[in-house]
């Protein structure tokens, strides 16, 4: 069975994601789609709109065949570490190809850019350091450094978010000597960060979340931009848990964590460096909301995303030694769900998988799986009452979802 891999967050699953899966199968000639999907906290340092279980269900009903969880140690990380973990999962799962969406849509441009930067690596790294020393954020520094070394006109634009991730996927596959054939399809209509609806059927996940968290917050407003299975799934989740997960739900927990920690204790948390702990502690005493807190700690050097990830690690009490500081590979495959054809694929390949296949947490708690458990427990704190208990119990009692 020919499988194509996709690296996703599905926050939430929308029509653009369905288009991506269709194009991925067409471009690769694959019969099934395997998704490496972030868990309950995402790469931009945000709690997922709905739980990983509901997002798995949405993905399977809309065309995915197998969903593996991208572990917390990779999911809440900068692009290169995020990509490395995800690529290693898809390689271990036996995917023949990896297909990502990009603003470029031209795979040859990615390959030429990677080759160019490998040849210019020393100069490039020196320019990155120069711009960091000037006070730029890391993404800005890498973008400026790329321009400094005068790339050729047929290079990919590394200032675009999906191009950046796609470049890291290709680089990770190369560094891991993966057998994956890396492919790309052009994003359709909506840009990654678009906050407004600009098409009749395709919208970014950012604009969909903004609509759901608006003053009216009616799910009906996004209906034309998501599959019917996503629409009904969102309604069901809201009725069950009282709403969708948002950073403001976790602000009281974050503030409590901050105001009772000493600076030297906070400094041990992953991504807390260069005196950020003092800035965080001072802002926590002043801010009344998470939005206010972020506005107080935001600087030119640190992106909003980078600071949000640090907030997630504070919530989960994740120490520096628990997280990889450079690209590495996953050590297990956490199965969240599958379709009938996905189960057939796993039954056929199970004996050949190079990593342990985990279908229930209780059967194996080792490696970095404890980070996923902590993250899920903290995520459950975003809801109240019996609903909180449901999320807490799911981590241990929920079998892989079958569609």
Residue ranges per structural domain of the chain: 3-106+183-245+327-402, 248-320
Phi-psi region of 99 (alpha: psi -120 to 50; beta: other; left: phi over 0): beta
pTM: 0.94
> Quick one: which of 312, 391, 394 has its CA closest to 73?
312
DSSP 189-233: SS-TT--S--SSS---HHHHHHHHTSSS--GGGGGGGS-HHHHHH
Q: What is the pLDDT of residue 264?
A: 95
Q: What percent of the chain has pLDDT over 70?
A: 96
d(CA 202, CA 189): 6
Question: CA-based Rg of the chain, rounded to a whole angstrom?
Answer: 21
Note the pLDDT tens digit of each residue in 128-144. 999 988 888 888 888 88
Q: Which residue has the tokens 């694929």?
A: 345
- CATH architecture of the domain 3-106+183-245+327-402 equals 3-Layer(aba) Sandwich (3.40)
> Quick one: which of 43, 36, 39 has its CA closest to 90?
36
Q: Is the pLDDT of residue 198 over 60?
A: no
Q: Is the pLDDT of residue 266 over 90?
A: yes
Binding residues for ATP, by number, are: 7-20, 101, 162, 187
DSSP 232-273: HHHHHHHHHHSS---HHHHHHHHHHHHHTS-HHHHTTBTT--
Q: What percent of the chain has pLDDT over 90?
A: 81
Binding residues, by number, are: 7-20, 101, 162, 187
Q: What is the pLDDT of residue 22?
A: 96
């Amino acid at each position: 069975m020919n499988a194509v891999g996709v690296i996703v967050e599905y926050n939430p699953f929308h029509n653009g994601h369905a288009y991506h899966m269709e194009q991925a199968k067409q471009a690769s000639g694959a019969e099934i789609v395997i998704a490496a999907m972030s868990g309950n906290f995402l790469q931009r340092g945000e709690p997922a709109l709905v739980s990983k279980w509901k997002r798995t269900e949405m993905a399977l009903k809309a065309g995915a065949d197998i969903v593996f969880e991208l572990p917390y140690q990779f999911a809440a990380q900068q692009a290169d570490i995020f990509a490395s973990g995800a690529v290693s999962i898809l390689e271990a799962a036996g995917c023949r190809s990896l297909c990502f969406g990009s603003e470029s849509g031209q795979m040859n441009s990615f390959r030429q850019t990677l080759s160019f930067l490998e040849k210019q690596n020393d100069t490039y790294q020196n320019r990155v350091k120069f711009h960091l020393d000037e006070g730029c954020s890391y993404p800005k520094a890498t973008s400026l450094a790329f321009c400094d070394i005068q790339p050729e006109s047929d290079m990919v634009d590394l200032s675009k978010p999906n191009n950046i991730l796609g470049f890291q996927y290709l680089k990770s596959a190369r560094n891991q000597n993966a057998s994956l054939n890396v492919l790309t399809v052009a994003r359709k209509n909506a840009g990654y960060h678009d906050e407004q609806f600009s098409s009749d059927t395709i919208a970014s996940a950012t604009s969909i979340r903004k609509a759901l968290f608006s003053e009216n917050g009616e799910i009906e407003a996004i209906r034309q931009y998501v599959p019917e299975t996503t629409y009904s799934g969102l309604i069901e989740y809201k009725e069950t848990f009282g709403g969708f997960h948002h950073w403001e739900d976790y602000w009281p927990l974050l503030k409590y964590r901050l105001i009772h920690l000493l600076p030297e204790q906070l400094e041990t948390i992953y991504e807390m460096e260069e005196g950020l702990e003092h800035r965080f502690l001072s802002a926590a005493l002043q801010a009344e909301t998470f939005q206010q807190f972020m506005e107080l700690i935001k600087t030119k050097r640190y992106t909003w995303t980078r600071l949000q990830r640090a907030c997630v690690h504070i919530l989960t009490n994740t120490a520096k030694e628990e997280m990889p500081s450079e690209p590495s590979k996953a050590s297990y495959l956490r199965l969240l769900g599958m379709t009938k054809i996905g189960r057939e694929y796993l039954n056929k390949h199970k004996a050949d998988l190079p990593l342990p296949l985990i279908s229930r947490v209780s059967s194996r708690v080792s490696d970095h799986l404890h980070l996923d458990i902590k993250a899920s427990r903290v995520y459950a704190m975003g809801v109240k009452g019996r609903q909180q208990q449901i999320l807490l119990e799911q981590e241990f009692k929920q079998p892989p979802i079958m569609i």
